[in-house]
Chain A
Amino acid sequence: MADSSVTGVTADDDRGMPAHSGEPLVVLDSVNKHFGELHVLQDINLTVHRGEVVVVIGPSGSGKSTLCRAINRLEAIDDGSITLDGQALPEEGKALARLRADVGMVFQSFNLFAHKTILENVTLGPIKVKKMKTAKAKELAMGLLERVGVANQADKLPAQLSGGQQQRVAIARALAMQPKVILFDEPTSALDPEMVNEVLDVMVALAKDGMTMVVVTHEMGFARKAADRVVFMSDGQIVESADPDTFFDHPTSNRAKDFLGKILTH
């Protein structure tokens, strides 16, 4: 795993928000993105440091998914720059595929390969992308499935597992690539309530191990427990960025107050 020197708030970063002791890993600089007329990402500046856990929160349609997808270039950006570990995102082809191998992604709808077993879902990347020997990939995968608590399901197909189990497999699949950072796009939103915690527990453990994570979620418990920083997005802009306690207890912008008012009444 990456370093575990998660010491929280120290110096200032480029936006004057609480920063992290790790070196910058993912850097978005003046990123803009349109879908036709719609300006979904408006001049986004964001630095995620090595070992940092950033929670992205905000109303539906504010651009959170697009932000995640831009970081591993599932969406191309119009202008600005995104760098990973100091390197600009490649445009296309082999170099881009290599970059994506370094950026794990966990989707709201799990997206496990439906025709492959749980074990094959986890070994596919290591074998086909990293050219790992099958036996070694299986060993790695079983270790990861053990870690997320679904090793006993290894030979089943995704459809035979519960949502919570599928999402934990998806996390294992991302981990198998030994990524530098993992992006989570609302990983618990499609789950039945009783399965949310089993997934969040895995994510908290990952955060404790020092994994760099960008997590789009409205789970405040997770944010307070595991996040170094909460970023609040609205209408394609980063409106607020603060440590979780400050953000949830003393939001400064009206848009954040308004949004928190809405999700807290439930």
Chain B
Amino acid sequence: MSEFLAVLSNYDLVGAYWLNIQLTFFAGLASLVIGTILALMRISPIPSLQFAGTTYVNLIRNTPLTIIVVFAALVLWPVLGVEFSTDFATNFFWLAVAALSVYHASFMCEALRSGVNTVPAGQAEAARAIGLPFLPAARLVILPQAFRGAIAPMGNTLIALIKNSTVAAAISVPEISILMKEMMENEGNYVIPIFLTVAVGFVIIVVPIGLAVTYLSQRLAVSR
């Protein structure tokens, strides 16, 4: 046991997890913003916006995440010229964030839409009846209630995002799964303890988030 701990101390596990947390944090924020815009498009009264939103969701949700991450590194940056930083590692970090955001935005959109479905139609009608146009009605009446009804599915999307952040390994962002592979290659005797350590690390990150989501979704539920 103490020998294994000595082996572990040679590697920066915390630093690698920290990358996963940063990927999750930035992609979580961006996917929430994009997902909200997509959801607005899908519930808007304008058919072309509905169509665009629906197309995005169906296209992205059915594309494997790895493909989108690789697309960011091999097309978005070199071909389409999207460069976040001249520093190679920083650029790849943000390309991974972009790919994770684009992908999870489609799930955030659907989570929020399921929240919109928890809001009775009468709420939107009452908002329209006092003279609120679509966007103010959405911002002031529908979305505040929809978010509160969407905490559980959005939390699930966030948890999926934490775990999916390891796909950034596909473009060599040195997050935890890359470190794990490196450790396993170097420390052949400890393959199983290494695996268990990494897995437990994720449990430590994910379980509190799951508990918080459950607590918040009950605490913030709109009483009707």
Contacts and interface: CB of A to CB of B under 8 A. Distances in A.
A47 B142 CA distance: 34
Given A107-B122, A107-B125, A115-B144, A125 B223 contact: no
A157 B144 CA distance: 15
Given A74-B125, A114-B223, A177 B130 contact: yes
B129 A105 contact: yes
A97 B136 CA distance: 11
B123 A114 contact: yes
Contacts of A173: 126, 130
A101 B131 contact: yes
Nearest to A129: B131
B106 interface: no
Interface in B112-166: 120, 122-123, 125-133, 136, 140-141, 144-145, 148
Contact of A100 (B123, B130, B136, B144): B130
A102 B223 CA distance: 30
Contact of B122 (A109, A129, A157): A109
Contact of A125 (B120, B130, B144, B222): B130
B224 interface: yes
A93 B145 contact: no
Interface in A142-189: 157, 159, 170, 173-174, 177
B149 to A, nearest CB: 10
A135 to B, nearest CB: 19
Contacts of A262: none
Contacts of A157: 223
> Which of B125, B130, B132, B144 has most A Cβ within 10 Å?
B130
Interface residues of A, number: 31
Interface in A95-140: 97-105, 107, 109, 111-115, 124-125, 128-129
A125 B132 CA distance: 8
A244 B145 CA distance: 43
B130 A124 contact: yes
A114 B130 CA distance: 15
A72 B129 contact: yes
Interface string B199-224: 00000000000000000000000111
A188 to B, nearest CB: 16
> Which of A129, A159, A174 has most B Cβ within 10 Å?
A129
A92 B141 CA distance: 20
> Which of B125, B129, B136, B144 has most A Cβ within 10 Å?
B129
A119 B129 CA distance: 18
Contact of A115 (B122, B126, B130, B148): B148
A114 B145 CA distance: 8
A266 interface: no
Interface string A62-76: 000000000010100
Contacts of A101: 130-131
A129 B125 contact: no
Contacts of B125: 74, 105, 107, 111
A253 B223 CA distance: 46
A113 to B, nearest CB: 6
B132 A128 contact: yes
Interface string B88-123: 000000000000000000000000000000001011
Contacts of A114: 123, 145, 222-224
A68 B187 CA distance: 76
Contacts of A98: 131
B131 A125 contact: yes
Nearest to B121: A111
Given A107-B126, A124-B140, A115 B222 contact: yes
Interface of B: 45, 120, 122-123, 125-133, 136, 140-141, 144-145, 148, 222-224
9 contacts: A74-B128, A99-B131, A100-B129, A111-B122, A124-B140, A125-B131, A173-B130, A174-B129, A177-B130
Given A98-B131, A100-B130, A114-B145, 18 more contacts: A74-B128, A94-B133, A100-B128, A100-B131, A105-B125, A107-B122, A111-B125, A113-B123, A113-B141, A114-B223, A115-B145, A124-B140, A125-B130, A129-B131, A129-B132, A173-B130, A177-B130, A177-B131
Per CB-CB distance, the 3 closest pairs between chain A and chain B, nearest first, are: A101-B131, A111-B122, A125-B130
Interface of A: 72, 74, 92-94, 97-105, 107, 109, 111-115, 124-125, 128-129, 157, 159, 170, 173-174, 177
